[in-house]
Structure 1
Amino acid sequence: IFILLSSACGIFGNAGQGSYAAGNTFLDALAQYHVAHGEKGTALDLGTLLEEGYVAENKQVMTRLLRMNLLTLMSLNQLFAMFDYYCNPSREYQARHSQLCLGYELPTKNFRNLFIEAPPLAEAKIIAAEGLQMKLGRALGLSIESIEFDSKLESYGVDSLVALELWNWMTKEMSADVAVFEFVRRNESERLLEGLLRPRVRQGTLYPNSQIYVPQALRPSIYGH
């Protein structure tokens, strides 16, 4: 019986740790390969350990990870219980069960579907803002409540790499209509919502100095005027 200690990073990735994520996905595939060939073993995709490791020794890092609302803490006792279970020689192994994902929570909302299905512009704007707050919070380790759209992204520590990640998410998940060079250069929270709402707007009055149509009732909340 062999146990491979992999990481949840191989499941959801992490900015700046592409090689680490790739190494963990290799461990997951290796476990599946060996089990498919009649051997016993599994890959445990661990999250954050409460008592040991880099995160446990750096409280600021732990606080930032917890604010992301993605990872959950695991105790050593829970980890050892996993070892006891998977090291049981009488346990049957199947290739499709060769990988166990631990220590993270799945997203509770599908913002792409919610955004597409929201008919009124006002509702779409709220969903877009909530999705951006969640994405920014996870990327920067900030609480969602602390992110306001009347502030520049740079005030939250957004650099060009994080901005590019946000742009990729916006264009893929919500079909945002904003060029990457414009987004990275301007780096403004207002520009995020504008780019998300532009494809959805179908009626209203052209707002001054803007290329999108926005109903009167939404102007103060989007533009801050």
Structure 2
Amino acid sequence: MLITRPSHCKRILKSLVGHFDQGHIGPVKPTTVYDAGSVQEAFRFMQQGLHIGKLVISLRGPDGSLKINTELVTSIRKLKLDESASYLLAGGLGGLGRSVARYLVEHGARHIVFLSRSAGSGPDDQEFVVELESLGCKVQLVQGSVNNRDDVVRAVSASQNLKGILQASMVLRDENFAQMKIEDWRTTIQPKVEGTWNLHHATLEAKIDLDFFICFSSMSGTTGLAGQSNYACANTFLDAFAQYRQSLGLPATSIDLGAVRDAGYVARDEALLKRMKVTGSKGVTELEVLEAVSMSILSKPVIKPEPAKNTEEAEFVDQSNLVLGLLSEIPLSSAESRALWKNDRRMAVYHNSSTDASDGSGSGGDVLKAFLSNAKKDASVLKANESVQLLAVEIGRKLFSFLLKSEDELDTSVSLSSLGLDSLVGVEMRSWWRQTFGFDITVLEMLGMGTLEGLGKHASQGMLKLIDSESG
């Protein structure tokens, strides 16, 4: 219009300015003002769709001061490895080891040495080497055993300016302790015990100043696991070894891993994954492992502790050990929980952190978890109308928690739009839905269900299909 009818635009603008000068045009009212530090609350309020007028974010006060918290916050340190250094991975050519190697390269590593008995002979080894080289990293494969001192010395010598070691050697020989042969015991013990000592002594003799020495241990060394007495013993050694190195003023961390469900040995074992699901074990994700590696590398320099004058009263704090995987999908207080460590007194904090799901006073989250646990045992409960209503209420509770609304207003028959569900909240609800019910739903599908009762029915039908496919 400005191009084709400029005179008309001029008259409209003059008229607007005139009305503004006369006070007929002003800002939209009412205006709800939020400080800059309360942006999240402002968006939450806007998502409800109940406001009238405008929501305004005020950056400065009348005196010109910023309305935000300007206190200094410790910035998160980002992992940046030395491009001129080498990093040695012992037994790092498995699924999880490859993920760690990629992670190191993505954060600056430009020379990685792998020590493995099968180095270079695996079906995908060469492709993996090419992948790392395409990222600008030089890769050396040293074929040898971490149990053999000469092989370890050879790998250390091949690592110019060695700055970090990751000990990921693992051999499993599961068997009941009473029936276990000495060969099975030694086969599992040696890579983690003798191999770790070899790496330790080889670097000391070469006078190598390491930035980090990370041992991949297991929760079995902390909580135990049936049929894995040899493996548990080996991992308990790694935890003690990390403490020993730190007592010498040398860097060391032991990462006790639960079952890593999306990478490595466990991810390839369908039977083991099913057993994890039955016991309620949440497992560990690949991302969590990589974050633990980053945390271990970035940890503060080791300070050699002063010996305690009275060892009986001295407080013990283990700063050399990280544990990942102490989570259960089923509340520990539930009779359905089969977590191996639920009765371990050291894990009491996990009981205290959740409400007892066995009584009616439990939180909505525990009620839903208990229901889902029962549904996995007996899928027929999902067909009951009462189950659909329970699911509708629990979905509504989660929706209201996102909307910061009181559950007193919850009505499963009211339309979702009236309750405040929109595309923004739908994204958050979708993420929770996938994690809770085990199958996906799009935001459009969610909005199209109409009411919470519709969502409850969809959840029930979806879980029935999921359980049928898994049992088939």
Could you state the TM-score of these two structures normalised by the residue count of structure 1?
A: 0.45
Q: Which structure has more RCO (C-alpha within 8 Å, separation ≥ 6)?
A: 1
Could you state the TM-score of these two structures normalised by the residue count of structure 2?
A: 0.23
Greater helix content: 1
